[in-house]
Amino acid sequence: MNQLPEKPLGKRGGWVIKTAVFTTTVALTPLIYGLRIEPHNLTVESVIIPIPQLHPALEGFRIVQLSDFHLHPHTQLPLIERAVDQANALRPDLIVLTGDFVLDFIESIFDLAPVLGRLNARYGVFCVMGNHDVKMNDIIIPRGLHDERLHVLRNDGVVLKVGAGKLYLAGVDDGIYGRPSLFHAMTNWQPDTTTILLAHEPDFADAYARDPRIALQLSGHTHGGQVNLPGYGPLILPRYGKKYHTGLYRVQQMWLYTNRGIGVGGIPVRFNCPPEITELTLVCE
Give the least confident one: 17-31, 55-69, 96-110: 17-31
pTM (2 decimals)? 0.90
CATH numbers and ranges of domains, the chain: 41-284 (3.60.21.10)
Q: Per-residue pLDDT averaged across 246-252, rounded? A: 99
| Amino acid making up residue 192 | D
Residues 6 or more apart whose CB falls under 8 angstroms from that of 126 comprise 94, 95, 96, 97, 150, 151, 152, 153, 158, 169, 171, 198
Strand runs (DSSP E) across the chain, as ranges?
43-51, 62-66, 94-97, 125-127, 151-152, 156-162, 165-171, 194-198, 214-219, 228-229, 233-234, 247-251, 254-258, 276-284
pLDDT tens, residue by residue, 96-106: 999 999 999 99
Q: Band the pLDDT of 10: cuts 50, 70, 90.
A: low
Nearest to 90 by CA among 116, 125, 62: 62
Q: Per-residue pLDDT averaged across 18-47, rounded? A: 67
Q: Band the pLDDT of 28: cuts 50, 70, 90.
A: very low
pLDDT tens, residue by residue, 118-169: 999 999 999 999 999 999 999 999 999 999 999 999 999 999 999 999 999 9
Distance separating alpha carbons of residues 61 and 280, to the nearest angstrom: 8
pLDDT tens, residue by residue, 69-112: 999 999 999 999 999 999 999 999 999 999 999 999 999 999 99
